[in-house]
Structures are given as structure tokens and as C-alpha cells.
Amino acid sequence: MMDSRADRVLFLCACGLITIGVLMSYSLSTYTTLAYRYSDFHFFEREFVSAVFGIMIMWMFAQLAPEKYFLKFGFFLFFLALILMLLMPFLPESLATSAGGAKRWIRLPLISIAPSEFFKIGFIFFLAWSFSRKFVDNHKRTITQEILVILPYIAVFFIAVLLIAVMQNDLGQVILLALTLVVMLIAAGGSSGLFGILLLISSVLAGIFIAISPHRIARLKTWWASAQDSVLTILPERMGAYLRVDNLPEPYQILHAANAIHNGGFFGQGLGNGTIKLGFLSEVHTDMVLAGITEEGGLLGLSVCVGLIITIVWRVLKNANRVQNDVYYLFCIGIAMLVGLSFLMNALGVAGLIPLKGIAVPFLSYGGSSMLANCLALGLVLSISQKAQYQKS
């Protein structure tokens, strides 16, 4: 049985979302299994095993006393993931799997592990531990003093940028970590002035990484091809004419995602009856899973998923507000942002409101590493929730 002080609602909501993700990994992978001549249950079996292990991880961590294990495990996770990411580019092809021209997975006998997924959790722990020592003291500082305090952590973040955005060619994850860092800094007591400076620096860096990458420029053009008609109608005619760009690439993914959402209606086509997965969108069970869920489950099915995500984020934030330990508080804030922002960035991309980032939906998108890392994160929050429940009583 789970420790009676742990947050059962959080655990059950995560299990519900995981169950939906496992079912969709079977239903939405039809075209891929046919194209690569896999068995019908190829993706389902792998996601099911990851889900079982993930739920076991959450349950086991819910039993652990955070004052004994949280700091030790957090440092272990951070440094292990960091070392693995540093080693990734030097691993032979027999030990590393590539995607998008970069090595992203380490091959093990039964599973491939993406160290970046676990590094995000370790990075949030490191920020929580560091910020609790530097900022949460109610001491007023000037902007210059705040910048000097945060410089070492900016250096660590630049290491993350190098490892993820450069070596793994994944700017979306860096943007996600940058937003999480800024929110955690504000929660720790950083000033609005520091927030503005960090936001400006992040925007400039994102612009540079986009400008030097042809495939990111192409992705931005594809997004603008679908968004410009809606955006330019609210601007003055002369400005709209100046900003309009012709001969842009066809927004293939966004258009078919919109068709899937339209076809779903309120109740959906039914599990397994969607058509968007039949070659119209590649890998629907991964980054475009929300479009597939909406087509087969309709607005009702999507609302269930959104409701579970919102409840998970709310429960994590609720636990954050119930603990007196600053490290626990900031860690929970960071995990809530990681889950919530991942979902939001993916959903806005599928809807065509922002460029697609290639960010997985927590617990719903296919991927063993993502599943295990998210379960590990919530497992740590469940461990912390014991203390929160105890202090409330």
C-alpha cells in the first residue's frame, strides 16, 4: 500500500493519463507498424512495459522519506545524467541511436535511454537546491547583485544549451528549461527586473539559434504560412501587406492536425477509427498525439486528458505550498512547470498558434525514456507530499 500521507489523487491522475497514453500508442501507431513491418503490438508492448515500470517507480518513491533520500538521489541523478550527456557524442553507433543528425539514445540490452529526459529532472533539482541557498532569504538585492548571484547557474544552463541545443539539435527542450528556470527564479524571490533581463537574453539566444539553423528557419516559415492570414487580419492593411510572405512551404503537419481535430467532433471517431494516422501525419503517436486523441476521442476525450494534466499540475503546486522546506518547494514548482509547459507548448504547436517544437506530451506521447523520467519526477513529488500532508495535520 502507498504511504497514507502521500498524495493519492496525484498518483491516480498520473496512472489515468499513463493508461490513456498506452492505449493510444497502440491505436495511433498503425501506419508506422505497417511501414516498418513491425508486429501490431510493437509500440504497445514497449509502452506498456515502460508504463508498468513508471508506475512502480512512482509507488516506490512515494514510500521514501524525503529528508533521508531526496538530496542524495537528486545529486546522483543530476551528475549521472550530465556525465551520460557529455559522453553521448563519443559513443560508437553500436551503443547510441541517432535522430535528426544527433545521438540522443543510449542502447541498453532491453531498452534505449535518452539521458536528456533525466537531465531535465536533475537540472530542476540542482536549481531548487541552489536557489534555496542563494535567494530564499528575504534579503533585498540590487539587479547587479542578483546577476552576480545567478551567474554560476547561468553557466550551468549554458552547458545544458551546449549539450541539448547544439549536440542534440533540440532547441525546444532548451526553451522549456529556460522558461522553467525563470519561473523557479521568480518563485525563489528573484526580482521582476532580473526576470526581464533573463527573458531578453533568452530571446536573443533563441533568435541566434534559429538564424543559424536552416531546418529551424524552415519550420518557422511553415508555421507562418498557416498563421499569417489569421494574424494579419487584425493588423492595419499597410502593415499586413508588408508582413505577408508568399511562396512559403505548405504547412503540412498543421493542416492535417487541424483536419484531425475537425473530424473528431465532440465524441470522436472511436478508438482505432481515426484516419489521420494512416500516413497523413508521421509518428502521430509521438509529438502529434493530441491530434490523434482528438480525432478518435473527440473534444470529450481531449478534455479528459487536459483535465488530468491540469489536476496533476495543480496537485504538485498544492504540495509545493504545503511544505516548509525551500528545496522541496522549488523542486515542486519546477516539476509543475515542466509538465504544464511541455503540454502547453505541444498543444499550441499542434493548434498552429506557435511553431512546432518536437516536445512530447507528458505521459501521452510514445517514448519509454519520457515516461520513466516523468514518473520519476512525480515519484519525487509524491515523496515530498508525505511531508506536506504531515505538516498540514
* Residues 149-200 pLDDT 10s: 777 777 777 777 777 766 777 778 888 888 898 888 888 877 677 777 777 8
Q: 115 with 371: CB under 8 angstroms?
A: no
Q: Let me know if residue 1 belongs to a domain.
A: no
What length does the chain have? 393
**Is position 167 within any domain?**
yes
**Residue indicated by cell numbers 547544439:** 166
Domain residues for 156?
8-392
Which residues on adjacent β-strands are paired with residue 364? none
What pLDDT does 137 receive?
57
Query: What is the structure's pLDDT at 392?
Result: 43
Intervals of the chain under pLDDT 70:
1-4, 98-102, 110, 135-141, 165-166, 191, 240, 250, 389-393
Residue 229 lies in a domain: yes
SS3 content of the chain, % helix, strand, coil (to 5): 70, 5, 25
Q: How far apart are the first and last CA of the chain?
A: 21
Judge whether 366 lies within some domain: yes
Look at residue 55 and tell me if it is in a domain.
Answer: yes
User: What pTM was estimated for this model as a whole?
Assistant: 0.89
Chain-centre distance for alpha carbon 98 = 20
C-alpha to C-alpha distance for 349 and 355, rounded to whole angstroms: 5
What does the pLDDT read at residue 101?
A: 61
User: What's residue 166's pLDDT?
Assistant: 67
- Domain assignment present for residue 129? The answer is yes
Sheet holding 96-99, edge to edge: 96-99, 102-107, 112-113
The CA-atom distances, in angstroms, between 393 and each of 88, 387, 389 are 47, 10, 7
Predicted pLDDT of residue 387? 81
Asked whether residue 2 is assigned to any structural domain, the reply reads no
Residue 352: its pLDDT value, please? 82
Question: Residue 210's pLDDT is what?
Answer: 78
